[in-house]
């Protein structure tokens, strides 16, 4: 029988091969030659002597445990013990578990074939700090965000970092940051300005440390819902072969538009803050219908924001900034009256046409309205037509594909967590439903007030955890699994995202 020879190539990466060391050295020299001082060198923190000594002691203890485990494994194998049983015995002697037994078997195999065991990488990772940890950088970014509070985009923020921040701390040449990094920094900057709530019942509020000129940001969510007179409980226990008598249809309804915050719950004034010049609560309730209060629309919502939500917020949270979040419903997609909208333009002059704002075409200001001194007196101050030279193509589509038309955004943008609040309120309303219009008018306000503050804070925390999962690339199924498994944690642990596919099998 031919004797088998083991390859000299290790089964595991020991990280000490000549090729690996040479490749790392060449790469470091290229980076240093290209950028002068690398970003990692610039941002890295020097280890304190105490930290270095602690890590060195810990690594030495681990290597001693490896050596003792390897010797014990070798001794047990020489006495005829099976590999699995021997490794488990060694793990029990060292008060370790199943994973350590598996490691012992891999170490024994590596030592037998290569006279060496893999070195531990503990303490070998890069220990650095982000640029955002620099107080001077934080101050410059804060001033930039204050000066451009309504014009900050990911691209403009990235340009500011590359052109202003990096050169100011000694990073010149062509060093830059990616768009995803800029987006992550913006989220980190704004999120750290918001309070957090910890504890079993979210009873403790933790405010961030604010620098000079920074103000606390409070998330205010909005949504709308409808309560109906005949919307009772859909399930329950009943005698066999008997059906409860229910009224047909949903009958009359009540429409509710309200705001929530995780600081005080519903956006309303407390007894100490009541002011006759300000509404007591931001909630608006109407009876929708043709013969009642009409239908809720975007104009009523804007009025609710201006006359109720903002004054109440400023009264309760003076000196703080409200971050309003709205869901992307069809009623919220309304554009401003002077928005560039091809669907509202006529192909030829004449007829009723909207007055649209000016735009830019080929680098020049293009007015969408004939000037007041236009030669044709009949067209002065009138909207221009949308005629095109190509008769085969729809004029509306030609204009709609232009960049300035595509970049138009609704007045309100999307985000929310208030749906769980509606669910809790409707559960109460269904439990107390008497299937009458008068009963609904009494039950709906009580249902909306029945949800306690600590529940609202838990809804907000769960919503934030879902958004964190989505930001890290998880699907809906994966995010649902992670949040159920780690529902007792204040945040989802990072290691869960590495092996998520195997965990949900």
- Of 7, 449, 455, nearest to 203 by C-alpha is 455
What pLDDT sits at residue 410? 54
Could you report the per-residue pLDDT of 60-78, keeping only the tens digit for each? 677 777 888 888 888 888 8
The CATH number of residue 310's host domain is: 3.30.420.10
Q: Distance between CA 66 and CA 81 in Å, rounded?
A: 19
Q: Is there a domain that residue 86 lies in?
A: yes
Does residue 377 carry a pLDDT above 60? Answer: no
Residues 226 and 322 reside in one and the same domain: yes
**Rounded (to 5) percent helix, strand, coil in the chain:** 45, 10, 45
Residue 23 above 70 pLDDT? yes
- Alpha-carbon distance 450 to 394, whole Å? 54
Say if residue 151 is in the same domain as residue 223.
no
Q: Are residues 226 and 274 in the same domain?
A: yes
Residues 185 and 257 in one domain: no
Question: Is residue 205 domain-shared with residue 289, that is, in the same domain?
Answer: yes
Report residue 307 as tokens.
């006359």
Residue 273 lies inside a defined structural domain of this protein: yes
Average pLDDT over the chain reads 73
pLDDT value, residue 178? 75
| Whole-number Å distance between alpha carbons of 32 and 38 | 6
Tell whether 273 and 162 lie within a shared domain.
Answer: no
- Do 286 and 223 fall within a single domain? yes
Tell me, what's the pLDDT at 376?
62
Domain enclosing residue 449, as ranges: 198-231+251-332+415-471
Q: Does residue 120 form part of some domain? A: no
Alpha-carbon separation of residue 405 from 167, 331, 343, 358, 381 (angstroms): 37, 20, 11, 12, 22
pLDDT at 7 over 60: no
306 and 419 co-located in one domain: yes
Distances (CA, A) of 256 to 137, 191, 228, 272, 436: 45, 29, 11, 25, 18
Inform me whether the pLDDT recorded for 275 exceeds 70: yes
The length of the chain in residues reads: 505
Residues 260 and 314 both lie in one domain: yes
Whether residue 72 lies inside any domain: the answer is: yes
Write out the H or E segment, with its range, that includes residue 364. Answer: strand 364-366
Same domain, 220 and 153: no
- Range ranked top by mean pLDDT from 80-94, 189-203, 389-403: 80-94
Q: With H, G, I as helix, E, B as strand and everything else as coil, classify residue 204.
A: strand
pLDDT for the residue numbered 202: 74
pTM score, whole prediction: 0.48
The pLDDT confidence band at residue 396, using thresholds 50, 70 and 90, is low
| pLDDT tens profile 76-118 | 888 888 888 888 888 888 888 888 888 888 888 888 887 777 7
Q: What is the pLDDT of residue 92?
A: 86
Q: What is the pLDDT of residue 1?
A: 43
- Is the pLDDT assigned to residue 473 strictly greater than 80? no
Look at residue 8 in the predicted model and tell me its pLDDT: 54
* Residue 173, both tokens: 């040449």
Residue 83 domain-assigned? yes
Q: Are 334 and 298 in contact (CB under 8 A)?
A: yes
Instruction: State the pLDDT at residue 389.
Output: 47
Q: Pick the residue with more confidence: 92 or 366?
A: 92
Q: Does residue 319 sit in the same domain as residue 426?
A: yes
Q: Model confidence over 400-444: pLDDT tens digits? A: 667 666 666 555 444 467 888 888 888 888 888 888 888 888 888
Number of domains in the chain: 3
The answer on pLDDT for 305 being more than 70 is yes
- DSSP sequence for 346-361: -SSS-S----PPPEEE
pLDDT at 38: 42
Q: What is the pLDDT of residue 189?
A: 66
- Quote the strand ranges of 175-267, DSSP E: 196-198, 204-206, 217-228, 253-261, 265-266
pLDDT at 32: 63
Cα gap 108→104, rounded to integer Å: 6
What is the pairing mode between strands 217-228 and 321-325? Answer: parallel
Q: Is residue 327 part of a domain?
A: yes
Asked whether residue 378 is assigned to any structural domain, the reply reads no
* Confidence band, pLDDT 50/70/90 cuts, at residue 276: confident
Q: Distance between CA 402 and CA 361 in Å, rounded?
A: 10
On whether both 84 and 151 belong to a single domain, the answer is no
Q: Which uninterrupted H or E stretch holds 98?
A: helix 98-114
How far apart CA 224 and CA 418 sit, in angstroms, is 9
Task: Report the percent of the chain where pLDDT is more than 70.
Answer: 63
499 domain-assigned: no
**pLDDT for 44:** 40
């Amino acid at each position: 029988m031919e004797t088998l020879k083991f390859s000299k190539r290790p089964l595991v990466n020991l990280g000490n091969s000549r090729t690996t060391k040479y490749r790392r050295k060449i790469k470091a020299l290229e980076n240093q030659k290209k950028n002068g001082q690398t970003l990692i060198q610039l941002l890295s923190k020097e280890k304190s002597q105490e930290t270095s000594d602690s890590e060195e002691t810990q690594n030495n203890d681990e290597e001693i445990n490896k050596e003792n485990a390897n010797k014990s494994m070798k001794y047990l194998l020489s006495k005829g013990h099976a590999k699995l049983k021997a490794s488990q015995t060694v793990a029990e002697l060292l008060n370790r578990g199943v994973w350590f037994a598996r490691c012992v078997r891999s170490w024994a195999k590596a030592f037998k074939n290569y006279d060496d065991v893999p070195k531990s990488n503990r303490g070998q990772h890069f220990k650095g700090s982000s640029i955002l940890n620099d107080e001077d950088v934080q101050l410059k970014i804060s001033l930039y965000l204050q000066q451009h509070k309504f014009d900050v985009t990911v691209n403009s923020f990235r340009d500011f970092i590359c052109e202003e921040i990096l050169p100011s701390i000694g990073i010149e040449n062509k060093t830059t940051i990616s768009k995803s990094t800029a987006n992550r920094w913006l989220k980190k900057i704004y999120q750290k300005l918001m309070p957090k709530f910890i504890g079993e019942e979210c009873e403790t509020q933790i405010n961030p440390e604010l620098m000079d000129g920074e103000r606390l940001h409070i998330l205010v969510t909005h949504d709308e819902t409808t309560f109906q007179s005949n919307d009772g409980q859909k399930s329950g226990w009943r005698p066999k072969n008997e059906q409860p008598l229910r009224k047909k249809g949903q009958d009359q309804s009540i429409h509710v538009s309200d705001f929530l915050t995780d600081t005080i719950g519903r956006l309303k004034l407390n007894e100490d803050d009541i002011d006759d010049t300000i509404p007591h609560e931001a909630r608006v309730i109407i009876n929708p219908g043709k013969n009642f209060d009409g239908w809720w629309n975007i104009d009523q919502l804007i009025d609710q924001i201006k006359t109720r939500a903002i004054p109440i917020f400023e009264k309760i949270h003076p000196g703080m900034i409200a971050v309003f979040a709205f869901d992307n419903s069809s009623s919220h997609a309304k554009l401003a009256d002077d928005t560039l909208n091809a669907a509202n333009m006529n192909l030829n002059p004449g007829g009723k046409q909207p007055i649209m704002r000016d735009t830019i075409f080929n680098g020049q200001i293009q007015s969408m309205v004939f000037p007041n001194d236009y030669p044709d007196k009949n067209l002065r101050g009138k909207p221009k037509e949308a005629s095109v030279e190509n008769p085969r193509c729809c004029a509306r589509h030609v204009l709609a594909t232009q960049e300035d038309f595509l970049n138009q955004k609704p007045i309100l943008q999307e985000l929310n967590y208030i749906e769980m609040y509606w669910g809790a309120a409707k559960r109460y309303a269904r439990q107390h439903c008497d299937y009458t219009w008068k009963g609904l008018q009494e039950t709906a306000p009580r249902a909306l007030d029945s949800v306690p503050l600590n529940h609202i804070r838990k809804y907000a925390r769960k919503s934030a955890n879902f958004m964190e999962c989505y930001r890290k690339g998880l699907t809906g199924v994966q995010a649902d699994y992670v949040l159920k498994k780690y529902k007792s944690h204040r945040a989802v642990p990072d290691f869960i995202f590495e092996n998520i596919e195997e965990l949900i099998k």
